[in-house]
Copies of this chain bind each other. A is one copy, B any other.
Amino acid sequence: MDKLYIIKIGGNVIDEDEALADFLKQFSTLSGRKILVHGGGKLATRLADQIQVPQTMIEGRRVTDFETLRIITMVYAGLVNKTIVSALQSHHCNAVGLTGADGNSVLAHKREHPITDYGFVGDIDTVDHSFLSHLLEQGLVPVFAPITHNGKGQLLNTNADTMAQEIARALSKTYQTILVFTFEKAGVLTDVKDENSVIAVITRSEYQKLKSGDKIFAGMIPKLDNAFRAIDEGVNRVIIGKAADLVELINGNAGTTITHA
């Protein structure tokens, strides 16, 4: 099977023009099939402030009312997505910006929560792998904003990590998928204060040992649990590390690689 990289960049990179430009330049040099999934960054919060739409966060998640959904659609699918697409084009990377509504590529339903109403937040049901593989086989590079739809005319705000993971899972039938999450740190660290304590490879048995020995920062556990879930679902491997190290992450010279065996 052909390799496919699904790479997620977080909000912190999007907020810094230079860091973003460097990341996109590195991304454009990766040969072969690839998909980019981006977060939103602080731009949505800034715009909400400017037009006086109060924002509510519950456990780090944005409650998405009608006005907030409009803001998110403008910032994520408009400004951030098209800025990335045009920058990639300048590096001869033939990007196509998408939301889950485009090509009906990512269908979701509005989250039902017993206590909290998160508003227009979507949990993913299906990813159309045939639409995406058509694009990939034409040499195109899908660039996803973290927005899906319900097929009934409703756009939905969706977590970018989850979106990357679900896309990787769906495409694992057709490709050998490598899922790359970039974040602030150099990888999974044994000492959270020491950026040089990156664990290069974590297998499942190793993970159990690390967890029981309290060698992993608690904040990393949900990320790692998700990574192993992705692997159970057919993803070949998951890489976690700094956006600035993208090429090195892909080459296995930086970050943490999570694999089955």
| A interface, CB within 8 angstroms of B | 47, 50-51, 70, 73-79, 81-83, 85-87, 89-90, 94-99, 101-104, 131, 134, 138, 140, 147, 149, 151-155
Contact = CB atoms under 8 A, between A and B. Distances in A.
Contacts of A70: 79
Contacts of A86: 101, 149, 153-155
Contact of A90 (B76, B85, B89, B153): B153
A138 B131 CA distance: 9
Contacts of A104: 89, 94
A139 to B, nearest CB: 10
User: Most chain-B CB neighbours within 10 Å: which of A79, A98, A151?
Assistant: A79
A82 B96 contact: no
A151 B82 CA distance: 12
A74 B78 contact: yes
B151 A89 contact: yes
Given A47-B51, A51-B47, A151-B90, A101 B85 contact: yes
B85 A95 contact: no
Contacts of A87: 153
B73 A99 contact: no
Contact of A75 (B74, B76, B81): B74
9 contacts: A74-B78, A76-B78, A77-B77, A85-B101, A86-B149, A90-B151, A95-B101, A96-B103, A97-B102
Given A89-B101, A97-B101, 12 more contacts: A73-B79, A73-B82, A74-B74, A74-B75, A86-B149, A86-B155, A90-B153, A94-B104, A95-B101, A97-B99, A97-B102, A134-B134
